[in-house]
């Protein structure tokens, strides 16, 4: 059995240290965003089972890497941009 955890390909950030806790949090957020593309931070935090502040922190990091973008007025809706790495499942 493979003991190494699998993280979402876009959870890895180019301009940050990729520590395990951050990779896990961003993987949860990106998994939620893959299912439902347009969400507020409150919805993301509830669906990903993370705190509001943690969700906001990681979503902003993903925005800096241009993986997510915010739209509209407050409360902002966050969407995937389509940039970043693709998993093998997404290529087929």
Q: Which residues contact 90 (CB under 8 A, 6 or more apart)?
A: none
Alpha helix positions (H), the chain: 20-35, 41-48, 52-64, 88-91
The least confident of 4-8, 64-68, 87-91 is 87-91
Beta-ladder partners of 68: 80
Q: Is 1's pLDDT higher than 50?
A: no
pLDDT attached to residue 84: 73
Provide the whole-model pTM: 0.87
Which CATH number is 9-81 given? 1.10.10.10
* Phi-psi sector, 81: left (phi>0), alpha (psi -120 to 50), beta: alpha
pLDDT band at 33 (very low <50, low <70, confident <90, very high): very high
Domain-by-domain residue ranges, the chain?
9-81
Q: Is the pLDDT at 90 greater than 60, yes or no? A: no
Question: Distance (Å, rounded) from C-alpha 8 to C-alpha 48?
Answer: 14
């Amino acid at each position: 059995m493979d003991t190494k955890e699998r993280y979402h390909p876009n959870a890895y950030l180019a301009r940050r240290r990729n520590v395990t806790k951050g990779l896990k949090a961003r993987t949860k957020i990106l998994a939620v965003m893959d299912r439902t593309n347009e969400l507020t931070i409150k919805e993301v935090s509830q669906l990903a089972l993370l705190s509001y502040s943690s969700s906001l922190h990681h979503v902003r990091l993903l925005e800096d890497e241009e993986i997510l973008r915010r739209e509209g007025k407050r409360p902002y809706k966050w969407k995937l941009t389509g940039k970043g790495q693709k998993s093998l499942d997404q290529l087929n």
